[in-house]
Structures are given as structure tokens and as C-alpha cells.
Amino acid sequence: MFLGIFHGVPATKKSVFDLSSGPDHIVLYQKNIEAVCSSEAEVRHQIRQTLIHELGHYFGMTEEQLKDV
């Protein structure tokens, strides 16, 4: 189940010579996050964790590297 996703080009892959394809963005899936949490405090924590994870992708980190974060 996806909780969030990064849409864009990782900062490590960007070049000033590339044409812009629009802004990078992160999508958080509210219903999926709520489905895996049982309290508002857990929702807040999961949102924070998911956002940090997706920001890691923005900075060019792989899933394997993010497991250690």
C-alpha cells in the first residue's frame, strides 16, 4: 500500500540544461495513511515519516538507503 510518492526528478539528476517538466511534488495518500493508523497521533507520526521518506527520494536516495534513515 502506497502512503506517498515523489513525482519529479531527483536533485542529484537535475541539470541546468534540462527543460523543466513542471514542478516536483510529493503526494500523500490520506485514506491509506488513515487505514494504517489507529489514532490522530499515529496519523501525524506517519505523515511525518512518509514526508521524510519522499524527501529522501527528492535528494536522490534509493529505497535501500532510506531503510537506514
pLDDT tens digits along 6-37: 999 999 998 888 887 789 999 999 999 999 99
Torsion sign (Cα): 11, 60, 19, 29: negative
> What's the rounded mean pLDDT across residues 38-61?
97
Domain positions in the chain: 4-8+24-67
Better-scored residue on pLDDT, 59 or 18: 59
Q: What is the identity of the amino acid at 51? A: L
Which pLDDT band, with edges at 50, 70 and 90, does 68 fall under? confident
Q: What is the identity of the amino acid at 8? A: G
Whether this model's pTM surpasses 0.85 = yes
Q: What is the mean pLDDT of the chain?
A: 93
